[in-house]
Structure 1
Amino acid sequence: MATPRDTRPDRGEKILDAALAVFGRDGFTDGNVEEIAKVAGVAKPTVYNRFGDKQTLFAETVERGSARANERVLGVIATVDVHPDDLRSELERLGQALVGCVSHAEGAALMRLQFSERARFPELMDGIREGNRTRTIDALAGKLAQLATAGYLRLTDAPRAARQFLALVSDDALASSGFGGRVLSHDELDEPVRTGVDTFLAAFGNG
Protein backbone atom coordinates (compact mmCIF):
# COMPACT_ATOMS: atom_id res chain seq x y z
CA MET A 1 0.00 0.00 0.00
CA ALA A 2 1.41 3.39 -1.04
CA THR A 3 2.31 5.84 1.68
CA PRO A 4 0.18 9.00 1.48
CA ARG A 5 2.20 11.95 0.17
CA ASP A 6 2.82 14.71 2.71
CA THR A 7 1.28 17.84 1.16
CA ARG A 8 2.22 20.18 4.01
CA PRO A 9 4.50 23.05 2.96
CA ASP A 10 8.13 22.57 3.98
CA ARG A 11 9.94 25.00 6.23
CA GLY A 12 11.36 26.93 3.32
CA GLU A 13 7.90 27.57 1.91
CA LYS A 14 6.58 28.62 5.31
CA ILE A 15 9.49 31.01 5.77
CA LEU A 16 8.96 32.58 2.33
CA ASP A 17 5.24 33.02 3.00
CA ALA A 18 6.02 34.66 6.31
CA ALA A 19 8.73 36.83 4.76
CA LEU A 20 6.35 38.18 2.14
CA ALA A 21 3.84 39.11 4.82
CA VAL A 22 6.46 40.81 7.00
CA PHE A 23 8.47 42.50 4.24
CA GLY A 24 5.26 43.54 2.50
CA ARG A 25 4.09 45.24 5.67
CA ASP A 26 7.37 46.64 7.00
CA GLY A 27 9.70 46.85 3.99
CA PHE A 28 13.22 45.46 3.79
CA THR A 29 14.91 47.66 6.38
CA ASP A 30 12.27 47.31 9.08
CA GLY A 31 11.34 43.73 8.21
CA ASN A 32 12.64 41.73 11.16
CA VAL A 33 14.03 38.23 10.65
CA GLU A 34 13.00 37.30 14.17
CA GLU A 35 9.41 38.31 13.32
CA ILE A 36 9.56 36.29 10.10
CA ALA A 37 10.71 33.24 12.05
CA LYS A 38 7.91 33.73 14.55
CA VAL A 39 5.25 33.99 11.82
CA ALA A 40 6.69 30.93 10.06
CA GLY A 41 6.76 28.95 13.30
CA VAL A 42 10.48 28.22 13.12
CA ALA A 43 13.56 29.21 15.08
CA LYS A 44 15.48 32.28 13.93
CA PRO A 45 18.66 30.24 13.18
CA THR A 46 16.56 28.08 10.85
CA VAL A 47 15.89 31.11 8.65
CA TYR A 48 19.59 31.90 8.37
CA ASN A 49 20.54 28.25 7.87
CA ARG A 50 18.06 28.01 5.01
CA PHE A 51 18.67 31.35 3.27
CA GLY A 52 22.03 32.62 4.47
CA ASP A 53 21.23 36.28 5.06
CA LYS A 54 18.39 38.77 5.06
CA GLN A 55 19.10 40.08 1.55
CA THR A 56 19.02 36.61 0.03
CA LEU A 57 15.79 35.87 1.87
CA PHE A 58 14.26 39.09 0.52
CA ALA A 59 15.33 38.35 -3.06
CA GLU A 60 13.98 34.79 -2.97
CA THR A 61 10.74 36.01 -1.40
CA VAL A 62 10.10 38.57 -4.13
CA GLU A 63 11.20 36.24 -6.94
CA ARG A 64 8.97 33.41 -5.73
CA GLY A 65 5.95 35.63 -5.15
CA SER A 66 6.31 37.34 -8.52
CA ALA A 67 6.73 34.03 -10.34
CA ARG A 68 3.56 32.69 -8.72
CA ALA A 69 1.67 35.85 -9.67
CA ASN A 70 2.86 35.61 -13.27
CA GLU A 71 1.88 31.94 -13.45
CA ARG A 72 -1.65 32.88 -12.38
CA VAL A 73 -1.85 35.59 -15.05
CA LEU A 74 -0.53 33.30 -17.78
CA GLY A 75 -2.98 30.62 -16.69
CA VAL A 76 -5.91 32.98 -17.17
CA ILE A 77 -4.62 34.20 -20.54
CA ALA A 78 -4.33 30.57 -21.65
CA THR A 79 -8.03 30.03 -20.96
CA VAL A 80 -9.24 32.97 -23.07
CA ASP A 81 -11.87 31.74 -25.52
CA VAL A 82 -10.86 32.85 -29.02
CA HIS A 83 -14.40 32.21 -30.28
CA PRO A 84 -16.41 33.80 -27.44
CA ASP A 85 -20.16 34.27 -27.46
CA ASP A 86 -19.60 37.64 -25.78
CA LEU A 87 -16.23 39.26 -26.54
CA ARG A 88 -16.74 42.11 -24.08
CA SER A 89 -17.43 39.76 -21.18
CA GLU A 90 -14.43 37.62 -22.09
CA LEU A 91 -12.14 40.66 -22.18
CA GLU A 92 -13.54 41.95 -18.88
CA ARG A 93 -12.85 38.57 -17.27
CA LEU A 94 -9.30 38.77 -18.60
CA GLY A 95 -8.90 42.35 -17.39
CA GLN A 96 -10.05 41.42 -13.90
CA ALA A 97 -7.38 38.72 -13.78
CA LEU A 98 -4.64 41.03 -15.04
CA VAL A 99 -5.27 43.52 -12.24
CA GLY A 100 -6.00 40.84 -9.68
CA CYS A 101 -2.57 41.52 -8.17
CA VAL A 102 -4.16 44.26 -6.08
CA SER A 103 -7.25 42.29 -5.09
CA HIS A 104 -5.51 40.07 -2.52
CA ALA A 105 -2.93 40.60 0.20
CA GLU A 106 -0.05 38.70 -1.43
CA GLY A 107 -0.33 40.60 -4.72
CA ALA A 108 -0.64 43.96 -2.98
CA ALA A 109 2.43 43.20 -0.86
CA LEU A 110 4.47 42.39 -3.97
CA MET A 111 3.28 45.57 -5.68
CA ARG A 112 4.29 47.65 -2.65
CA LEU A 113 7.73 46.08 -2.54
CA GLN A 114 8.33 46.55 -6.25
CA PHE A 115 7.77 50.27 -5.85
CA SER A 116 9.18 50.94 -2.39
CA GLU A 117 12.34 48.82 -2.66
CA ARG A 118 13.31 49.44 -6.28
CA ALA A 119 15.96 52.02 -5.33
CA ARG A 120 17.61 49.47 -3.02
CA PHE A 121 17.30 46.49 -5.38
CA PRO A 122 17.08 47.95 -8.91
CA GLU A 123 18.44 44.92 -10.79
CA LEU A 124 16.21 42.51 -8.91
CA MET A 125 13.04 44.55 -9.31
CA ASP A 126 13.63 45.59 -12.91
CA GLY A 127 14.58 42.06 -13.93
CA ILE A 128 11.43 40.60 -12.39
CA ARG A 129 9.19 43.30 -13.82
CA GLU A 130 10.57 43.08 -17.35
CA GLY A 131 10.59 39.28 -17.38
CA ASN A 132 7.00 39.00 -16.18
CA ARG A 133 5.80 41.80 -18.44
CA THR A 134 7.46 40.25 -21.50
CA ARG A 135 5.89 36.86 -20.83
CA THR A 136 2.48 38.45 -20.22
CA ILE A 137 2.61 40.61 -23.36
CA ASP A 138 3.74 37.69 -25.52
CA ALA A 139 0.94 35.44 -24.26
CA LEU A 140 -1.69 38.17 -24.50
CA ALA A 141 -0.57 39.19 -28.00
CA GLY A 142 -1.01 35.60 -29.13
CA LYS A 143 -4.60 35.48 -27.89
CA LEU A 144 -5.46 38.88 -29.38
CA ALA A 145 -4.00 37.78 -32.71
CA GLN A 146 -6.23 34.69 -32.62
CA LEU A 147 -9.26 36.86 -31.89
CA ALA A 148 -8.32 39.05 -34.86
CA THR A 149 -7.94 36.02 -37.12
CA ALA A 150 -11.39 34.88 -36.02
CA GLY A 151 -12.81 38.29 -36.99
CA TYR A 152 -13.47 39.72 -33.52
CA LEU A 153 -10.74 42.39 -33.58
CA ARG A 154 -8.94 44.62 -36.10
CA LEU A 155 -5.21 44.48 -35.42
CA THR A 156 -2.05 45.36 -37.33
CA ASP A 157 0.34 44.94 -34.39
CA ALA A 158 -0.74 42.37 -31.78
CA PRO A 159 2.06 43.10 -29.27
CA ARG A 160 1.26 46.83 -29.35
CA ALA A 161 -2.45 46.06 -28.85
CA ALA A 162 -1.53 43.79 -25.93
CA ARG A 163 0.50 46.54 -24.26
CA GLN A 164 -2.37 48.99 -24.73
CA PHE A 165 -4.93 46.54 -23.35
CA LEU A 166 -2.79 45.97 -20.28
CA ALA A 167 -2.40 49.71 -19.70
CA LEU A 168 -6.09 50.47 -20.24
CA VAL A 169 -7.39 47.90 -17.77
CA SER A 170 -4.69 48.27 -15.13
CA ASP A 171 -3.47 51.86 -14.83
CA ASP A 172 -6.48 53.33 -12.99
CA ALA A 173 -6.86 50.29 -10.75
CA LEU A 174 -3.21 50.30 -9.72
CA ALA A 175 -3.33 54.02 -9.02
CA SER A 176 -6.51 53.61 -6.95
CA SER A 177 -4.78 50.99 -4.84
CA GLY A 178 -1.86 53.32 -4.20
CA PHE A 179 0.24 50.79 -6.13
CA GLY A 180 -0.40 48.11 -3.56
CA GLY A 181 -1.02 50.42 -0.63
CA ARG A 182 -4.39 48.80 -0.09
CA VAL A 183 -6.27 45.79 -1.36
CA LEU A 184 -9.11 46.59 -3.76
CA SER A 185 -12.40 44.74 -3.79
CA HIS A 186 -13.68 43.16 -7.00
CA ASP A 187 -16.36 45.85 -7.11
CA GLU A 188 -13.66 48.53 -7.05
CA LEU A 189 -11.87 46.81 -9.92
CA ASP A 190 -15.02 46.51 -12.01
CA GLU A 191 -15.29 50.10 -13.26
CA PRO A 192 -11.67 50.65 -14.37
CA VAL A 193 -11.61 47.27 -16.10
CA ARG A 194 -14.96 47.86 -17.81
CA THR A 195 -13.91 51.34 -18.94
CA GLY A 196 -10.59 50.02 -20.20
CA VAL A 197 -12.30 47.29 -22.21
CA ASP A 198 -14.73 49.84 -23.66
CA THR A 199 -11.83 52.00 -24.85
CA PHE A 200 -9.96 48.99 -26.24
CA LEU A 201 -12.99 47.80 -28.22
CA ALA A 202 -13.62 51.31 -29.54
CA ALA A 203 -10.11 51.22 -31.00
CA PHE A 204 -9.75 47.58 -32.02
CA GLY A 205 -13.25 46.06 -32.08
CA ASN A 206 -14.59 44.73 -35.34
CA GLY A 207 -18.16 45.97 -35.29
Structure 2
Amino acid sequence: MAGAGRGRVDKRRAIVEAAFEVFARRGYELASMQDVAEQAGVSKQTVYNHFQDKPEVFAEAMAVTADAVLAANLEAVELLRNPGADLRAALNEAAFAMLRICCDPRSTALRSLTYAQRARFPELVDVIQNRLAGRLGPAVADRLARLALSGDLRPCDPEQAAEQLLALLTAPVEARSRMGTRPVPDPDIKSIAEAATDTFLRAYAPSAPASV
Protein backbone atom coordinates (compact mmCIF):
# COMPACT_ATOMS: atom_id res chain seq x y z
CA MET A 1 0.00 0.00 0.00
CA ALA A 2 2.86 2.37 0.82
CA GLY A 3 4.30 1.80 -2.65
CA ALA A 4 0.97 2.65 -4.24
CA GLY A 5 0.78 5.87 -2.23
CA ARG A 6 4.31 6.81 -3.23
CA GLY A 7 3.45 6.11 -6.85
CA ARG A 8 0.43 8.38 -6.67
CA VAL A 9 2.53 11.20 -5.19
CA ASP A 10 5.18 10.74 -7.88
CA LYS A 11 2.55 10.79 -10.64
CA ARG A 12 0.97 13.93 -9.22
CA ARG A 13 4.40 15.56 -9.10
CA ALA A 14 5.06 14.56 -12.72
CA ILE A 15 1.73 16.08 -13.76
CA VAL A 16 2.50 19.30 -11.91
CA GLU A 17 5.93 19.64 -13.52
CA ALA A 18 4.49 18.89 -16.94
CA ALA A 19 1.72 21.42 -16.35
CA PHE A 20 4.19 24.19 -15.63
CA GLU A 21 6.06 23.44 -18.86
CA VAL A 22 2.78 23.64 -20.78
CA PHE A 23 1.67 26.88 -19.11
CA ALA A 24 5.11 28.42 -19.67
CA ARG A 25 5.07 27.47 -23.35
CA ARG A 26 1.45 28.14 -24.28
CA GLY A 27 0.21 30.55 -21.64
CA TYR A 28 -2.71 29.90 -19.30
CA GLU A 29 -5.48 30.66 -21.77
CA LEU A 30 -4.26 28.37 -24.55
CA ALA A 31 -3.11 25.51 -22.35
CA SER A 32 -5.53 22.62 -21.89
CA MET A 33 -5.76 19.63 -19.60
CA GLN A 34 -5.18 17.46 -22.67
CA ASP A 35 -1.91 19.33 -23.28
CA VAL A 36 -0.89 18.65 -19.68
CA ALA A 37 -1.75 14.96 -20.01
CA GLU A 38 0.28 14.61 -23.18
CA GLN A 39 3.27 16.42 -21.68
CA ALA A 40 3.12 14.18 -18.58
CA GLY A 41 2.65 11.01 -20.65
CA VAL A 42 -0.62 10.09 -18.94
CA SER A 43 -4.28 10.02 -19.89
CA LYS A 44 -6.49 13.05 -19.49
CA GLN A 45 -8.56 11.07 -16.99
CA THR A 46 -5.43 10.52 -14.88
CA VAL A 47 -4.94 14.28 -14.69
CA TYR A 48 -8.55 14.67 -13.55
CA ASN A 49 -8.01 11.93 -10.96
CA HIS A 50 -5.51 14.28 -9.31
CA PHE A 51 -6.93 17.73 -10.09
CA GLN A 52 -10.45 19.07 -10.31
CA ASP A 53 -9.79 21.58 -13.09
CA LYS A 54 -7.21 23.74 -14.87
CA PRO A 55 -7.16 26.51 -12.23
CA GLU A 56 -6.27 23.95 -9.56
CA VAL A 57 -3.40 22.39 -11.51
CA PHE A 58 -2.16 25.87 -12.48
CA ALA A 59 -2.12 27.05 -8.86
CA GLU A 60 -0.18 23.99 -7.70
CA ALA A 61 2.23 24.16 -10.63
CA MET A 62 3.04 27.77 -9.78
CA ALA A 63 3.48 27.06 -6.07
CA VAL A 64 5.69 24.01 -6.64
CA THR A 65 7.83 25.91 -9.13
CA ALA A 66 8.21 28.81 -6.69
CA ASP A 67 9.41 26.35 -4.06
CA ALA A 68 11.94 24.87 -6.50
CA VAL A 69 13.26 28.31 -7.44
CA LEU A 70 13.52 29.18 -3.75
CA ALA A 71 15.49 25.98 -3.03
CA ALA A 72 17.97 26.83 -5.78
CA ASN A 73 18.38 30.35 -4.40
CA LEU A 74 18.91 29.08 -0.87
CA GLU A 75 21.76 26.91 -2.15
CA ALA A 76 23.33 30.06 -3.61
CA VAL A 77 22.89 31.92 -0.31
CA GLU A 78 24.73 29.09 1.46
CA LEU A 79 27.87 30.19 -0.38
CA LEU A 80 27.98 32.97 2.23
CA ARG A 81 28.03 30.56 5.17
CA ASN A 82 31.84 30.31 5.16
CA PRO A 83 33.08 33.17 2.98
CA GLY A 84 36.70 32.79 3.98
CA ALA A 85 39.16 35.64 3.83
CA ASP A 86 37.80 37.15 0.60
CA LEU A 87 34.27 38.35 1.32
CA ARG A 88 34.06 40.19 -1.99
CA ALA A 89 34.75 36.99 -3.91
CA ALA A 90 32.15 35.08 -1.88
CA LEU A 91 29.53 37.80 -2.41
CA ASN A 92 30.30 37.87 -6.13
CA GLU A 93 29.90 34.11 -6.35
CA ALA A 94 26.59 34.09 -4.45
CA ALA A 95 25.26 37.10 -6.38
CA PHE A 96 26.16 35.54 -9.73
CA ALA A 97 24.51 32.25 -8.75
CA MET A 98 21.29 34.00 -7.66
CA LEU A 99 21.18 36.09 -10.82
CA ARG A 100 21.63 33.05 -13.06
CA ILE A 101 18.66 31.46 -11.30
CA CYS A 102 16.68 34.69 -11.71
CA CYS A 103 17.43 34.71 -15.44
CA ASP A 104 16.84 31.03 -16.18
CA PRO A 105 13.75 30.02 -18.21
CA ARG A 106 11.93 28.54 -15.22
CA SER A 107 12.20 31.69 -13.09
CA THR A 108 11.43 33.95 -16.04
CA ALA A 109 8.30 31.94 -16.88
CA LEU A 110 7.21 31.99 -13.24
CA ARG A 111 7.36 35.79 -13.16
CA SER A 112 5.70 36.17 -16.57
CA LEU A 113 2.81 33.88 -15.67
CA THR A 114 2.35 35.64 -12.33
CA TYR A 115 2.15 39.05 -13.99
CA ALA A 116 -0.10 37.82 -16.81
CA GLN A 117 -2.60 36.04 -14.54
CA ARG A 118 -2.78 38.42 -11.59
CA ALA A 119 -6.29 39.58 -12.59
CA ARG A 120 -7.64 36.02 -12.99
CA PHE A 121 -5.87 34.80 -9.83
CA PRO A 122 -5.65 37.87 -7.56
CA GLU A 123 -4.09 35.84 -4.75
CA LEU A 124 -1.29 34.57 -6.98
CA VAL A 125 1.12 37.44 -6.41
CA ASP A 126 0.88 36.99 -2.64
CA VAL A 127 1.32 33.22 -2.92
CA ILE A 128 4.44 33.50 -5.07
CA GLN A 129 5.81 36.41 -3.02
CA ASN A 130 5.35 34.52 0.25
CA ARG A 131 6.84 31.29 -1.07
CA LEU A 132 9.81 32.89 -2.82
CA ALA A 133 10.86 36.46 -2.00
CA GLY A 134 9.25 36.25 1.43
CA ARG A 135 11.63 33.44 2.38
CA LEU A 136 14.69 34.40 0.35
CA GLY A 137 14.99 37.83 1.94
CA PRO A 138 15.15 36.46 5.51
CA ALA A 139 17.71 33.83 4.42
CA VAL A 140 19.96 36.53 2.97
CA ALA A 141 19.38 38.68 6.06
CA ASP A 142 20.46 35.80 8.30
CA ARG A 143 23.75 35.42 6.39
CA LEU A 144 24.40 39.17 6.48
CA ALA A 145 23.63 39.31 10.22
CA ARG A 146 26.22 36.61 10.85
CA LEU A 147 28.76 38.46 8.72
CA ALA A 148 28.11 41.61 10.74
CA LEU A 149 28.57 39.71 14.00
CA SER A 150 31.89 38.32 12.78
CA GLY A 151 33.05 41.81 11.83
CA ASP A 152 33.08 41.14 8.08
CA LEU A 153 30.35 43.76 7.64
CA ARG A 154 29.64 46.85 9.70
CA PRO A 155 26.77 46.68 12.20
CA CYS A 156 23.52 47.11 10.30
CA ASP A 157 19.86 46.23 10.02
CA PRO A 158 20.25 42.87 8.23
CA GLU A 159 16.74 42.86 6.78
CA GLN A 160 17.26 46.27 5.23
CA ALA A 161 20.71 45.28 3.97
CA ALA A 162 19.29 42.11 2.39
CA GLU A 163 16.51 44.08 0.72
CA GLN A 164 19.03 46.52 -0.70
CA LEU A 165 21.38 43.78 -1.94
CA LEU A 166 18.56 41.94 -3.69
CA ALA A 167 17.35 45.18 -5.27
CA LEU A 168 20.86 45.90 -6.57
CA LEU A 169 20.80 42.49 -8.23
CA THR A 170 17.28 42.26 -9.62
CA ALA A 171 16.58 45.79 -10.83
CA PRO A 172 19.31 45.83 -13.53
CA VAL A 173 18.29 42.36 -14.71
CA GLU A 174 14.67 43.43 -15.11
CA ALA A 175 15.81 46.42 -17.16
CA ARG A 176 18.29 44.54 -19.35
CA SER A 177 15.93 41.63 -19.94
CA ARG A 178 13.06 44.00 -20.81
CA MET A 179 11.05 42.49 -17.93
CA GLY A 180 12.03 38.95 -18.82
CA THR A 181 11.37 39.11 -22.55
CA ARG A 182 15.03 38.92 -23.59
CA PRO A 183 17.83 36.64 -22.38
CA VAL A 184 20.68 38.19 -20.40
CA PRO A 185 24.08 36.74 -21.37
CA ASP A 186 26.33 35.33 -18.65
CA PRO A 187 28.95 38.12 -19.08
CA ASP A 188 26.23 40.69 -18.42
CA ILE A 189 24.99 38.73 -15.41
CA LYS A 190 28.54 38.59 -14.07
CA SER A 191 28.94 42.34 -14.58
CA ILE A 192 25.66 43.07 -12.75
CA ALA A 193 26.68 40.79 -9.87
CA GLU A 194 30.08 42.45 -9.50
CA ALA A 195 28.60 45.96 -9.65
CA ALA A 196 25.99 45.05 -7.02
CA THR A 197 28.65 43.57 -4.75
CA ASP A 198 30.85 46.64 -5.15
CA THR A 199 28.02 49.03 -4.31
CA PHE A 200 26.90 46.90 -1.38
CA LEU A 201 30.39 46.69 0.12
CA ARG A 202 30.91 50.43 -0.27
CA ALA A 203 27.92 50.84 2.03
CA TYR A 204 28.41 47.92 4.41
CA ALA A 205 32.10 47.01 4.57
CA PRO A 206 33.71 47.81 7.95
CA SER A 207 35.38 51.20 8.03
CA ALA A 208 39.08 51.07 7.44
CA PRO A 209 41.14 52.00 10.51
CA ALA A 210 42.34 55.57 10.53
CA SER A 211 45.99 56.01 9.58
CA VAL A 212 48.32 57.16 12.32
Which TM-score band applies after superposition, normalised by the shorter structure?
A: 0.7 to 0.9
> 1:60-109 CA distances to partner (integer Å, 9 max, x unpaired)?
00000001111221232234134522111111111123223334322222
| Counterpart mapping for 1:48-197 below 5 A | 48-197=48-197
Letter of the 1:144 partner, please give it. L
Alpha-carbon distance in 1 for matches of 2:86, 2:119: 43
1:16 paired with 2:48, answer: no
Alpha-carbon distance in 2 for matches of 1:87, 1:140: 15
Alpha-carbon distance in 2 for matches of 1:119, 1:179: 18
- Structure 1 pair 77–119 and aligned structure 2 pair: CA distance change class (3 A): same
Counterpart contact for 1:20–1:62, Cα < 8 Å: yes
The higher relative CO (CA closer than 8 Å, separation ≥ 6) is in 1
Letter of the 1:99 partner, please give it. L
Q: Which has the larger displacement, 195-204 or 115-124?
A: 115-124
Q: In the comparison of the two structures, how many residue pairs are matched?
A: 201
Counterpart contact for 1:110–1:180, Cα < 8 Å: no
Moved >4 Å (runs of 4+) = none
Alpha-carbon distance in 2 for matches of 1:147, 1:82: 9
Counterpart contact for 1:102–1:111, Cα < 8 Å: no
Letter of the 1:19 partner, please give it. A
For residue 183 of structure 1, report the CA deviation from its aligned partner: 4.2
Alpha-carbon distance in 2 for matches of 1:100, 1:28: 25
Counterpart contact for 1:76–1:97, Cα < 8 Å: yes
Q: What fraction of aligned residue pairs are identical, expressed as a percent?
A: 33
Q: TM-score, normalised by structure 1?
A: 0.87
Gaps of 5+ in 1: 1-5
Counterpart contact for 1:73–1:98, Cα < 8 Å: yes
RMSD of aligned alpha carbons: 2.1
Alpha-carbon distance in 2 for matches of 1:102, 1:74: 12
Counterpart contact for 1:27–1:117, Cα < 8 Å: no
Letter of the 2:13 partner, please give it. E
Alpha-carbon distance in 1 for matches of 2:79, 2:89: 14
- Structure 1 pair 126–186 and aligned structure 2 pair: CA distance change class (3 A): same
Letter of the 1:48 partner, please give it. Y
Alpha-carbon distance in 2 for matches of 1:45, 1:203: 57
For residue 182 of structure 1, report the CA deviation from its aligned partner: 4.1
Alpha-carbon distance in 1 for matches of 2:126, 2:112: 14
